[in-house]
């Protein structure tokens, strides 16, 4: 696969720099950008894809809602990024029953583009302090767990994906495969 330009949007999550390093280690051109970067500046970078990092609170998600509605490149939302996608398209987020980071077994409901080769079940590392409670209209439900019904989803027509878990951490099995699947989407777009 050619070297793609992947911008990592910093939502002040503890794993933002790890996402960046993992993307770089997978031989992609990548840089971290603040979540208040104007859309015109992002487009001037000519990215092949965006990754919205996790973060501590939605109030600090900057322009993420605008990015997912207005930028026409593949987007992967991780944890808070996943929740921001849901909110931007009319879904709902609520506090999860299980906070803190933990190992979770996820059931893949649909081996869509980004989850290809990960099913039928995979073990991931996730926090469920907050989680997507209601899918946005038309979104495709990709994965669930005993802890959270909406572990992964995708937009019905755009290459926009969200996962509650952290593919960038070593505790997540097949995390790099998920990222490589996302890069393939970026390469085709």
Backbone angles phi and psi of 55, in degrees to 5: -175, 170
> What HEC string does 38-67 produce?
CHHHHHHCCCCEEEECCCCCHHHCCCHHHH
Please identify which of the residues 20, 82, 155, 166 carries the catalytic annotation: 166
Instruction: Identify which of 147, 77, 151, 171 has the alpha carbon closest to the alpha carbon of residue 109.
Output: 151
Active-site residue, 189 included: no
Contact between 2 and 27 under an 8 Å Cβ cutoff? The reply is no
* Residues 6 or more apart in contact with residue 41 via CB below 8 angstroms: none
Please identify which of the residues 16, 151, 168, 186 carries the catalytic annotation: 168
Q: Which two tokens stand for residue 3?
A: 């070297």
> Residue with structure tokens 């939302």?
77
Active-site residue, 168 included: yes
Active-site residue, 166 included: yes
Please identify which of the residues 16, 79, 148, 186 carries the catalytic annotation: 79
Residues noted as catalytic: 79, 166, 168
């Amino acid at each position: 696969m050619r070297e793609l330009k992947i911008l990592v949007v910093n939502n002040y999550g503890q794993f933002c720099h790890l996402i960046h390093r993992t993307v770089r280690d997978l031989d992609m051109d990548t840089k971290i950008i603040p979540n208040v970067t104007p859309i015109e500046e992002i487009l001037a970078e000519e990215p092949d894809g965006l990754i919205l990092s996790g973060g501590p609170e939605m109030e600090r998600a900057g322009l993420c809602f605008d990015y997912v509605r207005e930028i026409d490149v593949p987007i992967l939302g991780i944890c808070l990024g996943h929740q921001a996608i849901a909110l931007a398209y009319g879904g709902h987020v609520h506090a999860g029953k299980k906070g803190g980071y933990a190992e979770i077994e996820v059931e893949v409901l649909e081996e869509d583009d980004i989850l290809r080769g990960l099913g039928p079940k995979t073990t991931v590392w996730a926090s469920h302090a907050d989680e997507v409670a209601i899918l946005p209209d038309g979104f495709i439900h990709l994965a669930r767990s005993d802890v959270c019904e909406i572990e992964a989803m995708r937009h019905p027509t755009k290459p926009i994906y969200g996962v509650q878990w952290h593919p960038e951490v070593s505790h997540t099995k097949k995390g790099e495969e998920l990222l490589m699947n996302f890069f393939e989407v970026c390469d085709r777009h």
